[in-house]
Amino acid sequence: MSELFHMAKRGIPSVSVCLIGCGAVSEILYAPALVAMKQKGLLEPVAVVDPNSSRTESVGQKLPSASCYADIDNMLAHVIPDLAIIAAPHKFHADLALTCFRHGVHVLCEKPMAITKAECEHMIDAAETAGCLLGVGHFRRFFPSCELIKTILDRGLLGAVRSFQFLEGETYSWPAQSTSFFHKSSAGGGVLIDAGAHTMDLLIWWLGEVADLDYQDDAMGGVEANCRMRLKMAIGAEGIVQLSRDWPLPNRYVINCDKGWIAYVCDVVDRIEWGWHHADYGLDSRIFSLPRLGAARALGLSQEVSGFMDCFASQLRNFVGAIRGQEPLRVPGSEAVKSVELIERCYLNRKFLAMPWLSETENEKGRRLAIG
Amino acid sequence: MRLADKIRVAVIGASGFIGSRLAEYLILNHLAEVRPIVRSFKGMARLARFNVDIAIGDACDEKMLAEVLGSAEVVFHCVVGDRSTIVRSAEAVYRACRSAKVQRLVYLSSAVVHGHNPLPGTNDGSDLIQRQPFEYNVSKVRAEKILRKLRTDGEVEVVTLRPMIVFGPRSAWWTAQIATDMIAGRAYLVDSGNGICNTVFVDNLVHAMWLSATVPEAANQDFIITDGEDVSWRQLYQSVARAVGVQLDFVPSITRQDAVLSIRKSKHEALKEFGNALKPLIARTVWPSVPHFLRQTLKSSLGERLFPITSPKPNELVLDPEIVSLQQCDYRLPVEKAKRILGYKPEFTFSKACVRTEAWLRFALGLDKV
């Protein structure tokens, strides 16, 4: 990161970027991150794109250096940025990325990378052919908490993983700016492909391939608000994932290993919880970062880790570093396709979620609606 | 009122607890063509499970509502909100119904219009109690009065339903909140929970709402809706305790006298006094009463957004004046009028309702294993 800043100071031009799709994620997360990156001379927002002019206006106000466009073709006729951030409805991800690659534009695509594995593979091939970078916005991988869990598991500090339980859910509160999240045609599904894209990414990143799964959800002609699955991983561990956009769940991912357990609390970036089995106490551990060089390192001085927003911005810093050839892309398309493949597999094997709080008649009707 | 197979209905406030269950009930039982109306896009998540046309509409915006009501014959008003929303939406929805030529409006009020502890003999025709200490209750009284006045124009039939304690799947107040309070050591009972809890299981309520939409004689009538059983607060809490694995005997009880005092005192004082008084009791009882496996589960498997990870802090026990007041009810509200005119017959007994509620609660808290 410091090298990037030195480059900015040396007058190396910042990376021009466009933001395609001006929904809530662009307004709440990307726009502030881009403002911060612009101030540091790393990125220069040049365009915002959305067919809804009130949305481009709203996001454009936060990024005054950017021009507003109704569609990508119109934008490309006027400006070809170095990098495109694609934050449009899921169904447009693949086509938009392909258009960008045809113009030699690198792409950071919001999760899910696309709706199907085939689309993802097409995107990966196109990026390679064009010599462009393709990254995906699984920014939880930039959380110190998630990174530390990955390290602990990879190094076997708690022994082999035996089981896990990932529970994540809220009454839906994301300030969606359109209906795109709620139609299969635009979103590809419900909570699983939306918030669950992050869950599936972490699951695979931490625990590896899924050998077998049993997936259920409550979609009844629409998209699921609740889903749960039992998974068997290739490493032998078995576990449960339950997701909801209907109701608050405990929002914890607990992984049980031979010697103890470790937990990620959703969206908490700077601490993890862990402990030993059958113990009366557990640990709530704050994470600090250790400088890599210099006297601070020698003295073992620690410093606070980044906050949530800074972690979000880290993926952009990583992308700029990758464009400049200084570091590898942390979440390339070849990594992100794994979660899309798993989600697709879930949907292909979906069963109707039995809801014993409904009548038999209602469950039967729901099952029929689910089948279509 | 037409009794066709598939009448066209709109549910305003369809993303909430009762509105969403009503929409689900009507769709899954193939009773009506349903148009759910929600305030914003984010309210669509639960309803989007169905392939149904969800409209966006502000319950306080008469013009906007009239546009989205379309050709609805019946409108259900299930809007929740603050005092202003309760009062303003009653008028806006009625006027929108009139503009859209809706035949009937089913208004979901509350039995709190008769107070938390209604006087003996209170029935559907009793005067509404205007002077009450709780804003919600007063707002519901005002909303009902507005609708009574508006309906005199004879343009839209209004049916008013007054449930008291609506519980069941997705009930935040009378199911999930009790569960989380119990797990966190914040739950309490007044007078050991012996007060009368005028429950209505949400499925019984939505059935009554459907009858209110379709029974011709219901026009411009008001109905108290309950499960029609003698249910105590202890029984309601017992059901929740069973679902989450907590022993109800260790949930602290306060006397009615102390409860009354707590309402009279300032919130701060009440908190301090009762918190301190209950501190040793809770420290000895509530947390240790949680089974070990559940304690471990709570510590290591449940999240702090829903549950605290550490033991409850006794001095944080908060007495909610509304809950304290409701738990002192001595009167079982009658449901005879609804039975007589609507043909209402609660399909679910309290015990059967509890089985379903407990199943949902275990699922919703992540305690249910696949």
Residue A344 in contact with partner chain B when CB distance is under 8 A: no
- Three-class DSSP category at A180: helix
Percent of chain B having pLDDT more than 90?
A: 77
Residues A53 and A133 in one domain: yes
Residues A282 and A233 in one domain: yes
Question: Do the beta carbons of residue A223 and residue A187 sit within 8 Å?
Answer: yes
- Within the 195-214 window of chain A, which residues sit less than 8 Å (CB to CB) from chain B? 214
How confident is the prediction for chain A on average, in pLDDT? 94
- Mean per-residue pLDDT for B160-173? 97
Q: Is A318 among the domain residues?
A: no
Among the listed residues B364, B147, B339, the one whose alpha carbon sits nearest the alpha carbon of residue B226: B339
Please tell me which residue of chain B has the smallest CA distance to A165. B301
pLDDT grade for B304, boundaries at 50, 70 and 90: very low
Residues in chain A with CB shorter than 8 Å from the CB of B47 are 222
Residues A176 and A95 in one domain: no
Least confident of A245-249, B97-101, B262-266, B331-335: B262-266
Amino acid identity at A83: L
**Residue listed under structure tokens 């990376």:** A15
Residues A199 and A55 in one domain: no
B302/B308 Cα distance (integer angstroms): 8
Residue A177 in contact with partner chain B when CB distance is under 8 A: yes
Residues in chain A with CB shorter than 8 Å from the CB of B49 are 190, 218-225
Q: Domain holding B84: CATH number?
A: 3.40.50.720
Q: Is B213 among the domain residues?
A: yes
Residue A224 in contact with partner chain B when CB distance is under 8 A: yes
Position B288 pLDDT exceeds 60: no
Q: Is B360 among the domain residues?
A: no
Rounded to 5 degrees, φ, ψ at B351 are: -70, -40
Domain that holds residue B138: 7-166+200-226+331-347
Of A216, A221, A225, the CB nearest to B45: A225
Distance of residue B231 Cα from the nearest chain A Cα, in angstroms? 20
Q: Is B152 among the domain residues?
A: yes
Residue A242 in contact with partner chain B when CB distance is under 8 A: yes
Residue A165 in contact with partner chain B when CB distance is under 8 A: yes
- Mean per-residue pLDDT for A172-199? 93
Q: What is the pLDDT of residue A237?
A: 98
Cβ contact B42–A173 (<8 Å): yes
Residue ending a domain, among A119, A138, A157, is A138
Q: Is A284 among the domain residues?
A: yes
Distance of residue A291 Cα from the nearest chain B Cα, in angstroms? 31
Cβ contact A225–B46 (<8 Å): yes
A185/A165 Cα distance (integer angstroms): 30
A160/A313 Cα distance (integer angstroms): 33
Residue A181 in contact with partner chain B when CB distance is under 8 A: yes
Residues in chain A with CB shorter than 8 Å from the CB of B201 are none
Residues A51 and A133 in one domain: yes
Task: Read off the pLDDT of residues A238-273 as tens digits, 9 standing for 90 and up.
Answer: 999 999 999 999 999 999 999 999 999 999 999 999
Of A221, A246, A263, the CB nearest to B45: A246
- Within the 76-135 window of chain A, which residues sit less than 8 Å (CB to CB) from chain B? none
Cβ contact A245–B170 (<8 Å): no
Q: Is B1 among the domain residues?
A: no
Of B41, B303, B356, the CB nearest to A356: B356
Position B291 pLDDT exceeds 60: no
Mutate to test the interface with A, among B27, B42, B304, B309 (most CBs of A within 10 A): B42
Task: Read off the pLDDT of residues B106-159 as tens digits, 9 standing for 90 and up.
Answer: 999 999 999 999 999 999 999 999 999 999 999 999 999 999 999 999 999 999
Residues in chain A with CB shorter than 8 Å from the CB of B357 are 357
| CA B225 to each of CA B125, B162, B166, B209, B342: distance values in angstroms, whole numbers, following the listed order | 13, 6, 10, 10, 11
Residues A341 and A199 in one domain: yes
Percent of chain A having pLDDT more than 70?
A: 95
Please tell me which residue of chain B has the smallest CA distance to A169. B364
- Mean per-residue pLDDT for A60-70? 97
Task: Read off the pLDDT of residues A124-151 as tens digits, 9 standing for 90 and up.
Answer: 999 999 999 999 999 999 999 999 999 9
- Three-class DSSP category at B34: strand
pLDDT grade for A189, boundaries at 50, 70 and 90: very high
Residues A157 and A301 in one domain: yes
Cβ contact B54–A266 (<8 Å): no
Which bin fits B101, alpha (ψ -120 to 50), beta or left (φ > 0)? left
Cβ contact A361–B45 (<8 Å): no
Q: DSSP label at B80?
A: -
Domain that holds residue A87: 2-138
Structure-token pair, residue A130: 């064009």
Q: Domain holding A152: CATH number?
A: 3.30.360.10
- Mean per-residue pLDDT for A283-311? 81
- Three-class DSSP category at A164: strand
Please tell me which residue of chain B has the smallest CA distance to A255. B301
Position B308 pLDDT exceeds 80: no
Structure-token pair, residue B264: 């009279």
Of B49, B302, B307, the CB nearest to A225: B49
Please tell me which residue of chain B has the smallest CA distance to A240. B370
Q: Domain holding A48: CATH number?
A: 3.40.50.720
Residues A341 and A284 in one domain: yes
Amino acid identity at A32: P
Distance of residue A187 Cα from the nearest chain B Cα, in angstroms? 12
Cβ contact A175–B42 (<8 Å): yes
Q: What is the pLDDT of residue B340?
A: 98
B179/B360 Cα distance (integer angstroms): 12
Residues in chain A with CB shorter than 8 Å from the CB of B365 are 249-250
Position B296 pLDDT exceeds 80: no
B342/A240 Cα distance (integer angstroms): 46
pLDDT grade for B314, boundaries at 50, 70 and 90: very low
**Residue listed under structure tokens 């809530």:** A24
Q: Is B52 among the domain residues?
A: yes
Question: Do the beta carbons of residue A285 and residue A274 sit within 8 Å?
Answer: yes
For residue B34, list its beta bridge partners: B9
Q: Is A321 among the domain residues?
A: no
Number of domains in chain B: 1
Please tell me which residue of chain A has the smallest CA distance to B352. A357
Q: Is A290 among the domain residues?
A: yes
Mutate to test the interface with A, among B49, B348, B365 (most CBs of A within 10 A): B49
Cβ count within 10 A of residue B128: 20
Number of domains in chain A: 2
Task: Read off the pLDDT of residues A11-29 as tens digits, 9 standing for 90 and up.
Answer: 667 999 999 999 999 999 9
Position A30 pLDDT exceeds 70: yes
- Within the 292-331 window of chain B, which residues sit less than 8 Å (CB to CB) from chain A? 299-307, 309
Residues A119 and A179 in one domain: no
**Residue listed under structure tokens 């927002």:** A45
Cβ contact B44–A261 (<8 Å): no
Residues A131 and A145 in one domain: no
